[in-house]
């Protein structure tokens, strides 16, 4: 199954926040939904992306390996959104 853009967004938020609770809040979703999305991503990739313990979350070696690609996907998605908005003639941050 292909990676979805929301999974990329969730992955990067979790990298930066190092907490499922804070990352979920940042993404505007419930924490169990974020956890499930990350678990699905790990299942699709066949490996753990994050080490989890009670006090924090951090990237595994595998997570460190895929992070640059996820960052590129995120930048490309943002650039595409801006280009489409320019063609349509409005601000990409407006609905």
Q: What is the pTM of this model?
A: 0.85
Q: What are the Cα distances from residue 19, in Å, to 2, 44, 56, 78, 92?
A: 25, 22, 6, 24, 29
Q: Is residue 27 domain-resident?
A: yes
Q: Could you write out the three-class secondary structure of 46-76?
A: CCCCEEECCCCEEECHHHHHHHHHHHHHHHH
Q: Is residue 30 domain-resident?
A: yes
Total number of domains constituting the chain: 1
> Would you give per-residue pLDDT tens digits along the chain (95 residues)?
688 999 999 999 999 999 999 999 999 999 999 999 999 999 999 999 999 988 889 999 999 999 999 999 999 999 999 999 888 886 656 55
Q: Show the domain range for 72.
A: 5-86
Q: Is residue 81 domain-resident?
A: yes
Q: Is residue 93 domain-resident?
A: no
Q: What is the domain-level CATH number for residue 59?
A: 1.10.10.10
Q: Is residue 59 domain-resident?
A: yes
pLDDT at 88: 87
Q: Is residue 95 domain-resident?
A: no
pLDDT at 49: 97
């Amino acid at each position: 199954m292909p990676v979805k853009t929301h999974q990329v967004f969730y992955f990067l938020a979790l990298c930066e926040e190092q907490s499922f609770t804070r990352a979920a809040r940042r993404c505007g979703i419930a924490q169990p939904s974020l956890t499930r999305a990350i678990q699905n991503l790990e299942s699709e990739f066949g490996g753990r992306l994050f080490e989890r313990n009670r006090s924090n979350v951090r990237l595994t070696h595998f997570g460190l390996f895929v992070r640059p690609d996820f960052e590129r996907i995120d930048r490309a998605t943002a650039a595409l959104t801006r280009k489409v908005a320019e063609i349509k003639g409005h601000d990409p941050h407006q609905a």
